[in-house]
Amino acid sequence: MRFVFCRLFLFLNKNLVCIEKSFILFYCIDMKELQLKYGCNPNQKPARVYMENGELPITVLNGNPGYINLLDALNGWQLVRELKIATGLPAATSFKHVSPAGAAVGLPLSETLKQIYFTGDVELTPMACAYARARGADRMSSFGDFISLSDECDKATAQLIAKEVSDGIIAPSYSDEALEILKAKKKGNYCVIQIDPNYVPAELERKQVFGITFEQGHNFLDINESCLENIVTKNKSLSEDDKRNLVISLIVLKYTQSNSVCYVKDGQAIGIGAGQQSRVHCTRLAGQKADNWWLRQCPKVLELDFVDGIKRADRDNAIDVYIGDEYMDVLEEGKWQNIFKTKPSVFTKEEKLAWIAKNTNVAIGSDAFFPFGDNIERAKKSGVTVIAQPGGSVRDDNVIAACDSYDMVMAFTGMRLFHH
């Protein structure tokens, strides 16, 4: 039995006249379904989520989640839950369209990371650090995200979320202060979901495609450091940080649309390439995202002098364009004045390559085998030194030779991690 206490707030003539009136007290017994406004698209009606047996493991504390919101929430929750189990650290992920834009564990932030993640004066907790990392790695892709947290959402984490454009959040619990902050977002419509951390899904799962029912066993595959024991390269030295980063990459891939590749550094995903038909395109896409994350830490980028009052999204976009190939879109006369106080010089290709070359100790995981050595060549350019992939290609020897040529460490996990 669950009681829901509803309050009515009246605001008159811009005066904060708050009349708090208890107008209804009702209860729900055995909440087995949740009606939704529509499915993936507005024309797909009716829509709902429901349980065939038992109650839903989620409670909507604020707002109204949509179909895709719930897909993001439930996939994201599984990801952070497994990161917490594997690392022992609080974990967060930022989901968009049923793939993570970022994911991380709660390691402390350097002053540079605080600056590029725009944490401001928030006193960061481990949970807040995890979210700052998850959101900050690929801020362009995380715009309008759905957040998943492994642990209670505290005040510091809510303060960070309050500054960002986001659709909603799922967590096992919320502090009173955090809940108050989150309920104020989106004019009171921000989606806040609480999940039962002890919920375990049924062993069999089903879905329908074109009226045909598919059934398979739930993917209970346990990913931990034991998955990294089969090292096939000449260099067999993995540090504890390497192991943690590789495990994080594999867990992220488990909940990323395939084909997928994930670059990880210092406990956070810094580049995720999702949903590509060609694996090398995944590697290139994720590598470019990892490079952009690193380029944002270059002093030349950190020193960009933005006009007062620029919106966070406009600033993020300007940085992304400035460090890319279309930099003149923000440096042309008549355009830069709307973004910068003083016109920055061009961030040249030579400068960018020199800065990217300083990145190292990056881990990469792949949800299926690398079929060619070109993936290794591309990964090397983004500072990759350790790799985890299933193995099993007829060209494994070619891929191993490419790793050996750069003194990389590569483990064959024997696990395919396709996700659709």
Residues assigned a catalytic role: 96-97, 259, 420
Coil, strand or helix: which one is 333? coil
E-assigned strand segments in 57-133: 58-62, 91-96, 99-105
385 and 409 Cβ atoms separated by less than 8 Å? yes
- The 10 Å CB-count burial string (b at 16+, else e) for 223-245 is beeebbeebbbeeeebeeebbbb
In Å, how far from its chain's centre is CA 317? 18
**Helix, strand, coil percent content, the chain, rounded in steps of 5:** 35, 25, 40
87 and 223 Cβ atoms separated by less than 8 Å? no
44 and 19 Cβ atoms separated by less than 8 Å? no
Measured CA to CA, the distance from residue 101 to residue 88 in angstroms comes to 22
Place of tokens 């990145």: 359
376 and 387 Cβ atoms separated by less than 8 Å? yes
Closest alpha carbon to 378 in 290, 271, 283, 294: 283
Closest alpha carbon to 364 in 346, 381, 342: 381
Give the other-Cβ count within 10 Å of 264's Cβ.
Answer: 31
Amino acid at 270: I
* Alpha helices (runs of H) in 143-225, residue ranges in sequence order: 155-162, 176-183
Closest alpha carbon to 60 in 1, 123, 4, 140: 4
Task: Give the helix/strand (H/E) hosting 209.
Answer: strand 204-209
Give the other-Cβ count within 10 Å of 169's Cβ.
Answer: 30
The tokens describing 395, both together, are 């060209």
Contacts of 11 (CB under 8 A, 6+ apart): 17, 18
The tokens describing 90, both together, are 């609080």
Measured CA to CA, the distance from residue 384 to residue 407 in angstroms comes to 11
Q: Facing residues of 273 across strands?
A: 261
